[in-house]
Amino acid sequence: MSAIANRYEFVYLFDVTNGNPNGDPDAGNLPRLDPETNQGLVTDVCLKRKIRNYVSLEKEGGAGYAIYMQEKSVLNNQHELAWKALDIPADAKDGYKKLPKDVAKAKELTDWMSANFFDVRTFGAVMTTGVNCGQVRGPIQMAFATSIDPVVPMEISITRMAVTTVKEAEEQSGDNRTMGRKHIIPYGLYRAHGFISAKLAERTGFSEADLELLWRSLINMFEHDRSAARGEMAARKLIVFKHEHPMGNAPAHVLFDTVKVERVQGEAATPARSFGDYRVSIDSESLPQGVSVRELI
Protein backbone atom coordinates (compact mmCIF):
# COMPACT_ATOMS: atom_id res chain seq x y z
CA MET A 1 0.00 0.00 0.00
CA SER A 2 1.36 3.42 -0.96
CA ALA A 3 2.47 5.94 1.65
CA ILE A 4 0.40 8.96 2.61
CA ALA A 5 0.73 11.93 0.25
CA ASN A 6 -0.18 14.81 2.60
CA ARG A 7 1.38 16.42 5.61
CA TYR A 8 -0.79 16.63 8.76
CA GLU A 9 -0.79 18.25 12.17
CA PHE A 10 -3.29 17.60 14.91
CA VAL A 11 -4.48 18.96 18.24
CA TYR A 12 -5.52 16.31 20.74
CA LEU A 13 -7.51 17.09 23.88
CA PHE A 14 -8.11 14.54 26.62
CA ASP A 15 -9.08 14.78 30.26
CA VAL A 16 -8.73 12.94 33.56
CA THR A 17 -11.11 12.87 36.50
CA ASN A 18 -9.91 11.65 39.92
CA GLY A 19 -6.90 9.90 38.47
CA ASN A 20 -3.21 10.07 37.71
CA PRO A 21 -2.67 10.37 33.94
CA ASN A 22 1.12 9.97 34.05
CA GLY A 23 3.02 9.37 37.29
CA ASP A 24 6.56 10.64 37.78
CA PRO A 25 8.81 7.85 39.15
CA ASP A 26 11.30 10.47 40.37
CA ALA A 27 8.61 12.05 42.57
CA GLY A 28 6.98 9.05 44.24
CA ASN A 29 4.67 8.58 41.23
CA LEU A 30 3.01 11.97 41.72
CA PRO A 31 1.27 13.31 38.60
CA ARG A 32 3.82 15.12 36.45
CA LEU A 33 3.84 18.89 36.85
CA ASP A 34 5.49 21.94 35.35
CA PRO A 35 7.08 23.36 38.55
CA GLU A 36 6.78 26.96 37.35
CA THR A 37 3.11 26.95 36.38
CA ASN A 38 1.70 23.86 38.15
CA GLN A 39 0.22 22.76 34.84
CA GLY A 40 -0.01 19.01 34.47
CA LEU A 41 2.24 17.15 32.01
CA VAL A 42 1.85 13.88 30.15
CA THR A 43 4.89 12.72 28.19
CA ASP A 44 4.92 11.83 24.52
CA VAL A 45 6.26 8.41 25.52
CA CYS A 46 3.14 7.79 27.63
CA LEU A 47 0.81 8.68 24.75
CA LYS A 48 2.77 6.55 22.26
CA ARG A 49 2.58 3.61 24.68
CA LYS A 50 -1.21 3.84 24.69
CA ILE A 51 -1.28 3.99 20.87
CA ARG A 52 0.90 0.88 20.71
CA ASN A 53 -1.35 -0.92 23.18
CA TYR A 54 -4.48 -0.08 21.19
CA VAL A 55 -2.95 -1.27 17.91
CA SER A 56 -1.84 -4.49 19.60
CA LEU A 57 -5.41 -5.10 20.80
CA GLU A 58 -7.11 -4.27 17.50
CA LYS A 59 -4.69 -6.03 15.16
CA GLU A 60 -3.63 -8.86 17.52
CA GLY A 61 -0.17 -9.02 16.00
CA GLY A 62 -1.44 -9.46 12.44
CA ALA A 63 0.90 -9.24 9.47
CA GLY A 64 2.48 -5.80 9.37
CA TYR A 65 1.10 -4.79 12.76
CA ALA A 66 3.46 -6.37 15.26
CA ILE A 67 4.67 -4.04 18.02
CA TYR A 68 8.42 -3.58 18.30
CA MET A 69 8.58 -1.75 21.64
CA GLN A 70 6.48 -3.82 24.03
CA GLU A 71 6.71 -4.93 27.63
CA LYS A 72 9.52 -7.42 28.28
CA SER A 73 10.42 -7.66 24.60
CA VAL A 74 14.08 -8.36 23.82
CA LEU A 75 14.95 -5.89 21.08
CA ASN A 76 17.90 -7.83 19.72
CA ASN A 77 15.59 -10.81 19.20
CA GLN A 78 13.28 -8.54 17.21
CA HIS A 79 16.21 -7.43 15.04
CA GLU A 80 17.36 -10.98 14.50
CA LEU A 81 13.97 -11.81 12.98
CA ALA A 82 14.81 -9.52 10.06
CA TRP A 83 18.23 -11.07 9.42
CA LYS A 84 16.78 -14.59 9.41
CA ALA A 85 13.68 -13.70 7.37
CA LEU A 86 15.88 -12.18 4.66
CA ASP A 87 18.42 -15.02 4.92
CA ILE A 88 21.33 -12.62 5.35
CA PRO A 89 24.32 -14.43 6.88
CA ALA A 90 26.09 -12.97 9.90
CA ASP A 91 29.57 -11.54 9.40
CA ALA A 92 32.30 -14.02 10.29
CA LYS A 93 33.97 -11.51 12.61
CA ASP A 94 31.28 -9.13 13.84
CA GLY A 95 28.19 -11.33 13.63
CA TYR A 96 25.10 -9.14 13.51
CA LYS A 97 26.77 -6.10 15.06
CA LYS A 98 27.24 -4.24 11.80
CA LEU A 99 24.96 -3.77 8.84
CA PRO A 100 25.93 -5.61 5.66
CA LYS A 101 28.43 -3.70 3.53
CA ASP A 102 26.06 -4.09 0.61
CA VAL A 103 23.91 -0.95 0.88
CA ALA A 104 20.92 -2.68 -0.72
CA LYS A 105 21.07 -5.54 1.80
CA ALA A 106 21.33 -3.08 4.69
CA LYS A 107 18.28 -1.23 3.41
CA GLU A 108 16.37 -4.50 3.14
CA LEU A 109 16.86 -5.08 6.86
CA THR A 110 15.60 -1.64 7.83
CA ASP A 111 12.69 -1.85 5.39
CA TRP A 112 11.71 -5.27 6.75
CA MET A 113 11.48 -3.85 10.26
CA SER A 114 9.32 -0.96 9.04
CA ALA A 115 7.04 -3.26 7.06
CA ASN A 116 6.47 -5.69 9.91
CA PHE A 117 6.36 -3.44 12.99
CA PHE A 118 3.68 -0.75 13.10
CA ASP A 119 5.47 1.40 15.66
CA VAL A 120 8.76 1.32 13.73
CA ARG A 121 7.22 2.72 10.55
CA THR A 122 5.12 5.13 12.63
CA PHE A 123 7.43 6.51 15.33
CA GLY A 124 10.80 5.29 14.10
CA ALA A 125 13.44 3.39 16.06
CA VAL A 126 17.17 3.17 16.72
CA MET A 127 17.91 -0.50 16.02
CA THR A 128 21.68 -0.66 16.56
CA THR A 129 21.75 -2.48 19.89
CA GLY A 130 24.13 -5.36 19.23
CA VAL A 131 22.04 -6.89 16.45
CA ASN A 132 22.03 -4.09 13.90
CA CYS A 133 19.05 -3.22 11.74
CA GLY A 134 19.89 0.45 11.24
CA GLN A 135 17.81 3.46 12.20
CA VAL A 136 14.38 4.64 11.13
CA ARG A 137 13.17 8.22 11.47
CA GLY A 138 9.43 7.97 11.97
CA PRO A 139 6.91 10.23 10.25
CA ILE A 140 4.87 10.81 13.42
CA GLN A 141 6.01 12.78 16.42
CA MET A 142 4.06 14.01 19.42
CA ALA A 143 4.85 16.71 21.96
CA PHE A 144 4.20 16.59 25.70
CA ALA A 145 0.57 17.16 26.66
CA THR A 146 0.04 20.12 28.98
CA SER A 147 -3.05 20.84 31.05
CA ILE A 148 -5.00 23.95 30.09
CA ASP A 149 -5.16 25.14 33.72
CA PRO A 150 -2.95 24.44 36.73
CA VAL A 151 -3.80 21.19 38.49
CA VAL A 152 -3.64 20.32 42.18
CA PRO A 153 -2.44 16.78 42.91
CA MET A 154 -4.07 15.18 45.94
CA GLU A 155 -2.69 12.39 48.10
CA ILE A 156 -5.47 10.04 49.17
CA SER A 157 -4.98 7.55 52.00
CA ILE A 158 -6.22 4.03 51.35
CA THR A 159 -6.34 0.91 53.49
CA ARG A 160 -5.83 -2.76 52.71
CA MET A 161 -7.50 -5.40 54.85
CA ALA A 162 -5.21 -8.25 53.78
CA VAL A 163 -1.50 -8.72 54.46
CA THR A 164 1.22 -10.30 52.37
CA THR A 165 2.82 -12.83 54.72
CA VAL A 166 1.96 -14.81 57.86
CA LYS A 167 4.73 -12.99 59.72
CA GLU A 168 3.20 -9.64 58.86
CA ALA A 169 -0.19 -10.82 60.11
CA GLU A 170 1.31 -11.93 63.43
CA GLU A 171 3.16 -8.64 63.91
CA GLN A 172 -0.05 -6.66 63.50
CA SER A 173 -1.75 -8.50 66.38
CA GLY A 174 -5.05 -9.17 64.67
CA ASP A 175 -5.31 -5.82 62.89
CA ASN A 176 -4.79 -6.70 59.23
CA ARG A 177 -5.20 -3.19 57.89
CA THR A 178 -2.22 -1.64 56.13
CA MET A 179 -2.09 1.94 54.89
CA GLY A 180 -1.26 3.13 51.41
CA ARG A 181 -1.28 6.29 49.31
CA LYS A 182 -2.93 7.14 46.03
CA HIS A 183 -2.13 10.26 44.00
CA ILE A 184 -4.88 11.82 41.90
CA ILE A 185 -5.85 14.99 40.08
CA PRO A 186 -9.50 15.97 40.69
CA TYR A 187 -9.80 17.17 37.11
CA GLY A 188 -7.50 18.19 34.28
CA LEU A 189 -7.97 18.89 30.57
CA TYR A 190 -4.78 18.24 28.60
CA ARG A 191 -3.73 19.45 25.15
CA ALA A 192 -1.15 17.68 22.96
CA HIS A 193 0.16 18.49 19.48
CA GLY A 194 1.12 15.95 16.83
CA PHE A 195 3.04 16.12 13.57
CA ILE A 196 2.87 13.81 10.53
CA SER A 197 5.44 14.09 7.72
CA ALA A 198 4.49 12.75 4.29
CA LYS A 199 8.10 12.74 3.17
CA LEU A 200 9.24 10.61 6.08
CA ALA A 201 6.20 8.37 5.54
CA GLU A 202 7.55 7.63 2.05
CA ARG A 203 10.69 6.17 3.62
CA THR A 204 8.91 3.93 6.12
CA GLY A 205 5.80 3.01 4.10
CA PHE A 206 3.34 4.61 6.53
CA SER A 207 0.07 4.30 4.60
CA GLU A 208 -3.45 5.71 4.56
CA ALA A 209 -4.61 2.56 6.36
CA ASP A 210 -1.98 3.21 9.04
CA LEU A 211 -3.18 6.79 9.33
CA GLU A 212 -6.78 5.72 9.88
CA LEU A 213 -5.56 3.26 12.51
CA LEU A 214 -3.70 6.09 14.23
CA TRP A 215 -6.87 8.19 14.37
CA ARG A 216 -8.82 5.23 15.81
CA SER A 217 -6.08 4.75 18.39
CA LEU A 218 -6.24 8.34 19.57
CA ILE A 219 -10.03 8.28 19.74
CA ASN A 220 -10.37 4.93 21.54
CA MET A 221 -7.12 4.24 23.40
CA PHE A 222 -8.41 5.30 26.83
CA GLU A 223 -11.37 2.94 26.47
CA HIS A 224 -8.95 0.01 26.69
CA ASP A 225 -6.57 1.49 29.25
CA ARG A 226 -8.74 1.56 32.35
CA SER A 227 -7.16 1.19 35.77
CA ALA A 228 -7.83 2.29 39.33
CA ALA A 229 -4.77 4.55 39.22
CA ARG A 230 -5.81 6.47 36.10
CA GLY A 231 -9.36 7.24 37.20
CA GLU A 232 -11.61 8.32 34.35
CA MET A 233 -9.77 9.37 31.20
CA ALA A 234 -11.40 10.28 27.89
CA ALA A 235 -10.47 11.63 24.48
CA ARG A 236 -12.41 14.88 24.02
CA LYS A 237 -11.24 16.47 20.76
CA LEU A 238 -9.13 15.42 17.79
CA ILE A 239 -8.67 18.32 15.39
CA VAL A 240 -6.74 17.45 12.23
CA PHE A 241 -5.08 19.87 9.80
CA LYS A 242 -4.38 18.52 6.31
CA HIS A 243 -1.96 20.16 3.87
CA GLU A 244 -2.41 19.93 0.11
CA HIS A 245 1.35 19.76 -0.47
CA PRO A 246 3.41 16.90 0.99
CA MET A 247 5.96 19.43 2.28
CA GLY A 248 3.19 21.49 3.87
CA ASN A 249 1.48 24.77 3.09
CA ALA A 250 2.01 26.57 6.42
CA PRO A 251 4.05 26.32 9.64
CA ALA A 252 2.55 24.06 12.28
CA HIS A 253 2.43 26.75 14.99
CA VAL A 254 0.25 28.96 12.78
CA LEU A 255 -2.32 26.16 12.59
CA PHE A 256 -2.17 25.37 16.28
CA ASP A 257 -2.82 29.03 17.10
CA THR A 258 -6.22 28.80 15.40
CA VAL A 259 -7.43 26.39 18.11
CA LYS A 260 -8.47 28.10 21.32
CA VAL A 261 -9.45 26.35 24.56
CA GLU A 262 -11.03 28.72 27.07
CA ARG A 263 -12.99 28.54 30.29
CA VAL A 264 -16.70 29.12 29.81
CA GLN A 265 -16.96 31.20 33.00
CA GLY A 266 -13.58 32.94 32.67
CA GLU A 267 -10.42 32.63 34.73
CA ALA A 268 -12.06 33.84 37.95
CA ALA A 269 -14.48 30.91 38.02
CA THR A 270 -14.24 28.01 40.42
CA PRO A 271 -11.81 25.21 39.48
CA ALA A 272 -12.83 23.22 36.41
CA ARG A 273 -14.39 19.86 37.15
CA SER A 274 -15.63 18.73 33.72
CA PHE A 275 -15.07 19.18 30.00
CA GLY A 276 -18.25 21.26 29.97
CA ASP A 277 -16.35 23.98 31.85
CA TYR A 278 -14.36 24.67 28.65
CA ARG A 279 -15.12 26.05 25.22
CA VAL A 280 -13.10 24.85 22.19
CA SER A 281 -13.11 27.00 19.07
CA ILE A 282 -11.36 26.85 15.70
CA ASP A 283 -10.73 30.02 13.71
CA SER A 284 -11.23 28.35 10.31
CA GLU A 285 -11.26 31.68 8.49
CA SER A 286 -7.64 32.30 9.49
CA LEU A 287 -6.35 29.05 8.00
CA PRO A 288 -3.64 29.56 5.36
CA GLN A 289 -4.42 28.63 1.77
CA GLY A 290 -3.92 24.95 1.03
CA VAL A 291 -4.79 23.77 4.55
CA SER A 292 -8.10 22.21 5.57
CA VAL A 293 -9.34 21.23 9.03
CA ARG A 294 -11.74 18.62 10.34
CA GLU A 295 -12.81 17.40 13.76
CA LEU A 296 -12.71 13.64 14.23
CA ILE A 297 -14.20 13.95 17.71
pLDDT the model gives residue 180: 75
Output the DSSP codes for the chain.
-PBP-S-EEEEEEEEEEEE-SSEEGGGTTEEPB-TTT-EEEE-HHHHHHHHHHHHHHHHTT-TT-B-SS-TT--HHHHHHHHHHHTTPPPBTTTBTSS--SSHHHHHHHHHHHHHHBHHHHHHEEEE-SSS--EEEE-SEEEPPEEEEEE---EEEEEEES--SSHHHHHHTTT---EEEEEEEEEEEEEEEEEEE-HHHHHHHT-BHHHHHHHHHHHHHGGGG---TTT-EEEEEEEEEEEESSTT-SS-HHHHHTTEEEEESS-TTSPPP-SGGGEEEEE-GGGPPTTEEEEE--
Instruction: Enter the pTM of the model.
Output: 0.92
pLDDT for 233 equals: 96
Predicted local distance difference test score (pLDDT) of residue 50: 96
Residue boundaries of the structural domains of the chain: 8-152+183-295
297 residues of the chain, pLDDT tens digit each = 689 999 999 999 999 999 999 999 988 889 999 999 999 999 999 999 999 999 999 999 899 999 999 888 899 999 999 999 999 888 878 888 999 888 999 999 999 999 999 999 999 999 998 899 999 999 999 999 999 999 999 988 888 777 777 777 776 665 556 777 889 999 999 999 999 999 999 999 999 999 999 999 999 999 999 998 899 999 999 999 999 999 999 999 999 999 999 999 876 678 999 999 999 999 999 999 999 999 998
